[in-house]
Structure 1
Amino acid sequence: MNILVVIALCAVSVAAIADPLLGLPVMPIPADNLQNPEKIALGKKLFHDARFSRTRSVSCASCHQSSKAFTDGLEKAIGVKGTIGVRNTPTLLNAGFFEQLFLDGREPSLETQALKPILNRIEHGLSDSKSIIKIITTDVDYLAQFKKVFGVDKATMSTVHMEKAIA
């Protein structure tokens, strides 16, 4: 009788492992922000670029550290000039499945959320989106990458393109 139980459990275990419905669903990708290797590389570069902070010392990766499950492990995040934030850094793991972002749920997508920390006076501390555009449009490498990924140039570049690349 014990051997039958073991065989049955093995059969159920193999079936469970092979059943994709027991895992996470396919990550939803917005139709207006399809992914490709070039866009992913651009997003990674933007994510790690500390120039998108008032002091040029904070990047998205400063708080969302891959070695710490894309958090910083702190009770409260630390932003520009060592300013302590009001809450901890949330993980980015599986964030593509979230239907609401930020503690209060004010943003519905990764795209709409992407620039909020950059424009937050405590986190990255940039004062406006013109500062973001200036960094991108004065960097020839960024201009080339945005041209390749989005087909935009210095005159047509907008923060929406950056949001899509980071998301």
Structure 2
Amino acid sequence: MPNPRIISALALLSTIVAVVVIDYHRGEPVRPVKPIGTPQTIATPLGLPPVPVPADNPVTVETIALGKRLYFDTSLSIDKSVSCATCHDPGHGFAYPGDVSTGVGGKKGTRNAPTIINAAYYTTQFWDGRENTLEKQAEGPVQNPVEMAHSLAGVVARLTNDPSYVTAFERAYAGPVTFDKVEKSLAAYERRVVAGDSPFDRWYFGGDQHAVDKSVKRGYEVFRRVDKGNCASCHAIAEHTALFTDNEFHNIGVGVRNGAPTDLGRYEVTHTDRDRGAFKTPSLRNIAETAPYMHDGSLDTLLQVIDFYEAGGNANPWLDSKIGMLHLTRREKADLVAFLNSLSGEVPSEALPDEILSKH
């Protein structure tokens, strides 16, 4: 008959092993960690819902400050040449001003770096949705050979060698630097990078009839009507808020060559045939600041984007059923551009770097 004491001891040992697992990929123990600093409330701008905050990463003054420092620090990359802000530039709507991102050694990626404004509201991250949280998203660029080309353990070692970082992590979390804390801090900062209260919001949700002109109001009708732009079928507007995304994935015919997508997009995550060439619906907030457009940065202006949809996208077997020729007039296109230009709001000043604040 088995000895009950031995069974209990083995059960306890297995529990300990399960809780304190060495993640050799990171080179650090994996333990739940939560911030210990001063709780920070994130204001909700007009037109947006409250920012989702995970239970294991409550936002604090200290983690936002630490995350902001990390976001602009090129030491996260292997050769200290690339920071998060290199590709998600606050001077360009927290997006990339070129077609596709450029990483260490001038290496080119294959996709345009999207804005991080309101990324906190996405249910998945990256164009293909391969990560579910802002925290996990932070791991990708650090390790990507054409972005930062570093390792998680290498980042931790470099930060640990900086006494000021050691102090900042101690204040924010207690204990040593770990990449779990790095990604939690970056996510905390990014949850502060929100923008609402745009002219559109003040008109549509706030009732201020003078917040926008007649062209914007006409453009809104083009945007929402199924027999016109039908834009709202994917770039959703709810009763009290507007994220301008359905958080879904669609093949709209971008990047199609010889009848097939050159980038498989969501398919690379799901391996489901209908996801070939499908990409996440981006929010349209602050879109006037984030050109070029589409996942490959192939369209330079909002009018070019509208003309692309006007033509029904590029035909391919996986083209979304919502995509079709629009037959918009010249004035309707101009009104639609005016509407899109009305969607820009201000990012909180504390999320901006000093060089941008000094220009305001």
Normalised by the length of structure 2, the TM-score is 0.39
Tell me what 1:45 maps to.
Answer: 69
How many residue pairs get matched?
A: 144
Match of 1:85 among 109, 115, 123: 109
* Cα separation, 2, equivalents of 1:72 and 1:105: 19
Give 1:3-22 correspondences, 5 Å limit.
none
- Which residue in 1 is equivalent to 2:160? 137
The corresponding residue for 2:88 is 64
Is 1:102 matched up with 2:134? Answer: no
* 1:28 aligned onto 2:28: no
Matching residue of 2:178:
158
Partner amino acid, structure 1, of 2:93: A
C-alpha separation between the residues in 1 aligned to 2:168 and 2:178? 14
Deviations 1:110-166 (A, max 9, x none): 00111210111000111x22101101111100100000001112xxx3211101000
Q: In the TM superposition, what whole-angstrom CA distance separates every residue of 1:3-61 from its partner, at most 9, and x where no partner exists? A: xxxxxxxxxxxxxxxxx9x7110101111111111111100110111111121110001
Deviation at 1:73, TM superposition (A): 1.6
Question: Which amino acid is the alignment partner of residue 98 of structure 1?
Answer: Y
| Other structure's SS at 1:34 match | coil
Task: Indicate the residue corresponding to 2:190 in structure 1.
Answer: none
Cα distance between partner residues in 2 of 1:35 and 1:114: 16
The letter of the residue matching 2:174 is G
* Distance (Å, rounded) in 2 between the aligned partners of 1:72 and 1:102: 14
For the residues of structure 2 that align with 1:107 and 1:45, how far apart are their CA atoms?
23
Take 1:112 and 1:130, find their aligned partners in 2: how far apart are those partners? Answer: 15
Give the secondary-structure state (helix, strand or coil) at the position aligned to 2:141: coil
Q: Runs in 1 of length 4+ with deviation above 2 angstroms?
A: none
Following the alignment from structure 1 to structure 2, what is the Cα–Cα distance between the partners of residues 152 and 145? 10
Instruction: Give the C-alpha shift of residue 104 in structure 1.
Output: 1.6
Q: Which amino acid aligns with 2:68?
A: K
Q: Is the 8 A contact 2:138 2:183 kept in 1?
A: yes
Instruction: Kindly provide the amino acid, as one letter, of the partner of residue 141 in structure 1.
Output: S
With CA pairs under 8 Å and 6+ residues apart, which has the higher RCO, 1 or 2?
Answer: 1
C-alpha distance in 2 between matches for 1:38 and 1:100: 26
Unaligned stretches of 5+ residues in structure 1? 1-19
Mapping 1:112-127, distance limit 5 Å: 112-126=136-150
Q: In 1, distance between residues paired with 2:104 and 2:182?
A: 21
- State which structure, 1 or 2, has the greater radius of gyration over its C-alpha atoms: 2
Shift of 1:102: 1.2
Identity between Structure 1 and Structure 2 (%): 38
Amino acid at match of 1:165: S
Amino acid of the structure 2 residue aligned with 1:146: F
Contact 2:142 2:152 in 1 (8 A): no
SS in 1 for 2:109: coil
Output the aligned Cα RMSD.
1.5
Gaps (5+ residues) in structure 2? 1-43, 188-360
Match of 2:38 in 1: none
- Check the 8 A contact 2:70/2:186 in 1, yes or no: yes
The residue type paired with residue 159 of structure 2 is I
Instruction: Give TM-score, length-normalised by structure 1.
Output: 0.82
